[in-house]
Chain A
Amino acid sequence: MYRKDKFMKQIYDILLEIVGPGFVSDAQEEKYIYSMDPGTMPACEPDIVVMPGSTDEVQKIVQAANTYRVPLVPLGAGLVLSGLSRALKGGIVMDMKRMNRVLEINELSRYALVEAGTSQGMLQAYLRKHFPNLKHSAPDAPPAATVAGNVCIHGSGHMSHAGGFHSDMLNGLEVVLPTGEVVRIGSCATSPYWFARAPLPDLSGLFLGWAGTTGVITKLSIKLYPNYPLNDVSVFVCEDASIIPDILYQITGTQVAEDVTTWMTPKPDWAAGFFHCNVNYGAKTKKELIWKRNLIRSAVESYIDAKTGGFLPLPSMMKQRFLEVPARQLSLFADVRKGGGFEYVGAIMPVELFPKAYDLGLDIADRLGVSYSMGCRIIGINHSMMFFYAYAFNRADPDDVARAQSALEETNKKVLDLGGIPWKAEAPAQKEILRKMDPNMVDLMGRVRSILDPNHVMNPGNWEEDR
């Protein structure tokens, strides 16, 4: 354990030397704001916040953290809601958002190379301006969220039916290891092109899903997709949770959609009790768009004929909202309790668990009296789903915050019992996962981490068993 009383002034001076004045702070204001994210996890104050502007500066900061054995916590936009970028053991929070340049777009090979602090919104805007025929898979997170952060947590988004998890769309990385070496992973390790992770040994997994405990990503290349001029959404509605897995199976089997999501919410009244499956697709021509629409409809024709479900006629305004990326409307959920907060439990699980996952969320929300919204996003061709439980809370009411926190904890446990895995799990949920995990995998994780981070400086407190 580092001695903050002894070394912090020296470390501050070193960081000041590295990044220059204005980009390092140990003031109460930064310590306070960077001690928490918008979720319910308790505050953990860092000692210093630093904002590097280059890989070279990140490297020097990592080296300094090693010299003094100071915890170092990399931060993107801080929108994960599960407190992964809180300084659980104090130390330095490293805000990466100054490193936000789009470095390269390869149009023909459809990839983007960006610095780790680049936001989803900035990449989206850059492509819209310079390469309007290309898009990346944007998550439902606000546009301030970073591309790297979402890849690191195995996020998903508007091309996940076509392309899988955002980590599946990763072509390569530049990483500063916990001991300070800068490493390139993927094709970029041996070629000037950042086009794929194959055919080399795939070491990218050493940095994905680890909550910043194995290194600091400074650059990454992600896959891009065609941005069609015509886009549409069809919404299939039914009242029976048990048929949803098959509905999703049939629709995704057509392989014409880009994004398939399902949502359930008690408000507004017209939506209560129904399961809505949004199927988003695009096309170059109107003829192609109609062909895709008909193909999707025909996939679930038997349900329509049996009158167990059907497609919702969509008013133009609602259609526009469903086509908006990212959907601004989603952030409004934070104001449901007039209190600026919601917790978001994502659970990665097989699609056949949908009915049980829904019942689980309904039971918890009813019992704990929390405002909820539920849904799922299909990953790949029904290969899995990210089932989400969003619980709104009023951050000015400690009882309400505690209720949302209880709902979060219980959901995580029940999801694990069901056979799912909590996504971007907060530190307590990580411990729950580790308890369920194959002990040999737990051991392997520990060994890998010890090799990569011998001084245990990277985001300590995450992915650690109770001792």
Chain B
Amino acid sequence: MKYAEILHRCFRCGYCKLPGNYIDFNCSAYAAFRFETYSPGGRMWLLRAWLDEKIEPSRRFQEILFSCTACGNCVEQCVLTKIKDELLLAFTAGKEALVCEGKVPPPVRDCLTKLQNYGNPYGFTRKKRTAWTVGTGIEAFSDQEFLFFPGDVGAFDSRGQEIARSVATLLNRVGVTFGILGDQEVSDGNETNAMGESELFRLLAEENIKHFNELNVKKIITLSPHGFNALKNEYPKLGGTYEVFHYTQILAAHTGSLSFENDLPEISVTYHDPCYLGRHNWEYGSARKILASLTGVKAREMDRSMQNALCCGGGGGNLFTDILGKGPESPAQNRVLEALGTGADILAVSCPTCAVMLGDAVKSTNLDKRIQVREISEIINDRLK
């Protein structure tokens, strides 16, 4: 297993379980399950024990590893500077070793099978990838400035589709020209990679890269921070180098050109940093810049924000595998309560995965009359003249 040499170097001091301000637990798997085994330190020692044949790769062991959302809090907080950057890589390598042995939880197996057979984790046919564009006039990419990459959640999930349409509408309104790959697009592979299926990730990425290159794509706007991470950081290793933007970065540069209604009631908004924009790519400013530019919007910060943000629980494939679960200890419900605690009316998101996870948590806790989960472009669109 790759990175096996760092596993025993973890002291299990527990900084990785907390945010930088120590206010609450911040490892989403540990916060949900509370057994030490689910903490990053626990995973390190369990992986070592498995390699030393002290424990079997049981179903529970598999679930412990695959409950990791790859949120990166452990990397952010670990005090061991010589190994911290390799923590997530070690967990992914552990998952990869299990994948190679065919010992993964059934939901992971099913998800990977769908990705293999259909090129997406939903198991939908490729033709349905463009369903979200019906009635929008969005065109296939030809020679526009940008390629818009909605990703799996934006293309297939009903909530993701709403967000994709909202973002695309706003991009059109501010004059950004873009097209899409349509049914040629396959999964960006970010979650596939995080689940340890590196070979399948390579196949998916190479297919997207092939189409990008055939169409002479230079600049890409992603809907999902997960896709942003894959295209920006992983695709170049496979020969696919492009200028990659998350849509909030583009919108942040254009909101000045928009006209807003003046007499809308004031709303208070708290912004949830998605892990793959924040900790993975240090992008904390664009969404906040957009919110700050909207009149009548009062921004409030949660205790766990920016590099200390709590993950929604959907990363590492958990949106599809649901290994983290949806109970009262789930990170999504935990996060919604934290947002509610700020007094905000709206929990703002810039990731379709976060929107689905947190939106479901609001509904399941019957808090939908007290707080709404709204995506950034939706908040803008609500206030346009």
Is there an interface contact between B11 and A334, defined as CB atoms closer than 8 Å? yes
Q: Which of A128, A142, A335, A395 is the one whose CB lies under 8 Å from B15?
A: A142
Task: Judge whether A49 and B13 touch: CB under 8 Å.
Answer: no
The reply to whether A32 and B55 contact each other, CB–CB distance below 8 Å, is: yes
Of A117-125, A156-164, A350-358, A371-379, the stretch lying at the interface with chain B is A117-125
Q: How far is the CB of A238 from chain B (nearest CB, A)?
A: 30
Interface string of B36-68 (1 = CB under 8 A from A): 110000100110010000111010110010000
Per-position contact with B for A83-120: 1 when CB-CB < 8 Å, else 0?
A: 00000000000010110000000000000000000011
Q: A33-B46, A129-B303 are in contact. Are A335 and B11 (CB under 8 A)?
A: yes
Whose C-beta in chain A lies nearest to the C-beta of B44?
A340
Does B22 sit at the interface, judged by CB under 8 A? yes
Complex: how many Å from CA A32 to CA B46? Answer: 8
A296 to B56: give the CA distance in the assembly, Å: 59
User: In the assembly, what is the distance between CA of A143 and CA of B18, in Å?
Assistant: 8
Extra pairs beyond A22-B33, A51-B34, A128-B21 (9, CB < 8 Å): A28-B55, A28-B58, A34-B36, A95-B36, A125-B22, A143-B15, A144-B14, A339-B8, A395-B8
Q: Does B252 contact A (CB under 8 A)?
A: no
Shortest Cβ gap from A93 to chain B (Å): 10
* B79 CB within 8 Å of chain A: yes
Q: Could you say which residues of chain B place their CB within 8 Å of the CB of A145? A: 14
Cβ contacts under 8 Å, A32 to chain B: 45-46, 49, 54-55
Closest chain-B Cβ to A175's Cβ sits at a distance in Å of 23
Across the interface, do B80 and A331 meet the contact criterion of CB distance under 8 Å? yes
**In the complex, how many angstroms separate the beta carbon of B160 from the nearest chain A beta carbon?**
30
Q: Which of A339-354 contact B (CB under 8 A)?
A: 339-342
B278 to chain A, nearest CB (A): 20
Q: B34, A340: Cβ atoms under 8 Å? A: no
A33–B17 CB distance below 8 A: no
Contact indicator B58/A27 (Cβ below 8 Å)? yes
How far is it, in angstroms, between the C-alpha of A95 and the C-alpha of B82 when the chains are bound?
A: 31
29 sampled A-B residue pairs with Cβ under 8 A = A22-B33, A29-B37, A29-B58, A29-B60, A32-B49, A33-B45, A33-B46, A38-B11, A51-B34, A77-B14, A78-B12, A78-B36, A121-B22, A122-B23, A125-B23, A125-B303, A128-B21, A142-B13, A142-B14, A143-B18, A143-B22, A331-B79, A331-B80, A335-B80, A341-B11, A342-B11, A394-B8, A395-B8, A396-B8
Contacts of A124 in B (CB 8 A): 22
Interface size for B (C-beta < 8 A) is: 38
With the chains together, A129 CA to B341 CA distance in Å? 13
Asked if B368 CB lies within 8 Å of chain A CBs, one says: no
Which residues of chain B come closer than 8 Å to A129, judged between CB atoms? 23, 303
Chain A interface residue count: which class?
35 or more
Contact (A98, B11) CB under 8 Å given A122-B24, A125-B22, A335-B82: no
Chain A neighbourhood of B56, CB < 8 A: 28
Q: Are B33 and A332 in contact (CB under 8 A)?
A: no
B35 at the interface (CB under 8 A from A): yes
Contact of A331 among B11, B34, B45 (CB under 8 A): B11
Interface assignment of B211: CB less than 8 Å from any CB of chain A: no
**Residues in chain A near residue B8, CB distance under 8 A:** 339-340, 394-396
Q: Which of A77, A122, A339 is the one whose CB lies under 8 Å from B22?
A: A122
CA distance A239 to B94 in the complex (A): 49
For the complex, is B97 an interface residue (Cβ under 8 Å from A)?
no
If over half of A's interface residues share one DSSP class (helix, strand or loop), that class is named, otherwise mixed; here it is: mixed
Residues B35 and A30 in contact, CB atoms below 8 Å apart: yes
A338 contacts B by Cβ under 8 Å: yes
Flag whether A328 is at the interface (Cβ < 8 A): yes
- The answer to the question of B83 belonging to the interface, with a C-beta cut-off of 8 Å to chain A, is yes
Chain B, Cβ-Cβ closest to A121: B22
Over the window 117-133 of chain B, the binary record of Cβ atoms lying under 8 Å from chain A Cβ atoms (1 yes, 0 no) is 00000000000000000
Is B10 an interface residue, CB under 8 A from the partner? Answer: yes
- Write out the residue numbers on chain B whose beta carbons fall within 8 Å of the beta carbon of A68: none
Whether B21 contacts A33 by the Cβ 8 Å rule is no
A29-B46, A32-B46, A32-B49 as given contacts; A121 in contact with B18, CB under 8 Å: yes
Tell me whether A29 and B15 are in contact (CB under 8 A). Answer: no
Partner of A25, one of B10, B35, B61: B35
Chain A: minimal CB distance from B250 (Å): 35
Indicate whether B81 reaches chain A with its CB closer than 8 angstroms: yes
Within the assembled complex, what's the spacing in Å between the Cα atoms of A331 and B83?
13
Nearest CB in chain B to that of A25: its residue:
B35
Distance in Å from the Cβ of B74 to the closest Cβ of chain A? 13
User: With a CB–CB cut-off of 8 A, which chain B residues contact A332?
Assistant: 79-81
Residue A381 at the chain B interface, CB threshold 8 Å: no
Cβ of A23 within 8 Å of any chain B Cβ, yes or no, is yes
Complex Cα distance A28/B56, Å?
8
B303: A residues at CB distance < 8 A:
125, 129
Q: Which residues of A contact B21 (CB under 8 A)?
A: 125, 128
Beta-carbon contact of A79 and B37 below 8 Å: no
Does any Cβ of A come within 8 Å of B9's Cβ?
A: yes
**Binary contact track B361-375/A, C-beta < 8 Å → 1, others 0:** 000000000000000
A291 interfacial by beta-carbon distance below 8 Å: no
Question: Which among B14, B35, B60 is the interface contact of A49 at CB below 8 angstroms?
Answer: B35
A29 near B23 (CB under 8 angstroms)?
no
Separation of A419 and B87 alpha carbons in the complex (Å): 44
User: A7 contacts the other chain (Cβ, under 8 Å)?
Assistant: no
A126 within 8 A of B: yes
How far is the CB of B54 from the nearest CB of chain A, in Å?
7
Rounded to whole Å, the gap between the CB of A58 and the closest CB of chain B is: 15
Interchain CB contact (< 8 A) of A29 among B10, B12, B18, B55: B55
Q: Which residues of B contact A126 (CB under 8 A)?
A: 23
Which 9 residue pairs spanning A and B have beta carbons closest together?
A121-B22, A144-B14, A334-B11, A125-B23, A142-B13, A396-B8, A340-B9, A331-B13, A125-B22
CA distance A340 to B45 in the complex (A): 11
Contacting residues, chain B, for A396 (C-beta < 8 A): 8
Instruction: Provide the bound-state CA to CA distance between A125 and B8, in Å.
Output: 30
Q: How far is the CA of A78 from the CA of B10 in the complex (A)?
A: 15
Name A23-66 residues within 8 Å CB distance of B: 23, 25, 27-30, 32-34, 38, 49, 51
In the bound complex, CA of A124 to CA of B18 (Å) = 13
The distance in angstroms between the C-alpha atoms of A128 and B22, with both chains bound, is 10
- State A120–B24 Cα separation when bound (angstroms): 11
With contacts A22-B33, A332-B79 taken as known, whether A144 is within 8 angstroms of B13 at the C-beta atoms is yes
Are A331 and B58 CB-contacts (below 8 A) given A78-B36, A339-B9, A340-B8?
Answer: no
* Residues of A123-163 whose CB lies within 8 A of B: 124-126, 128-129, 142-145
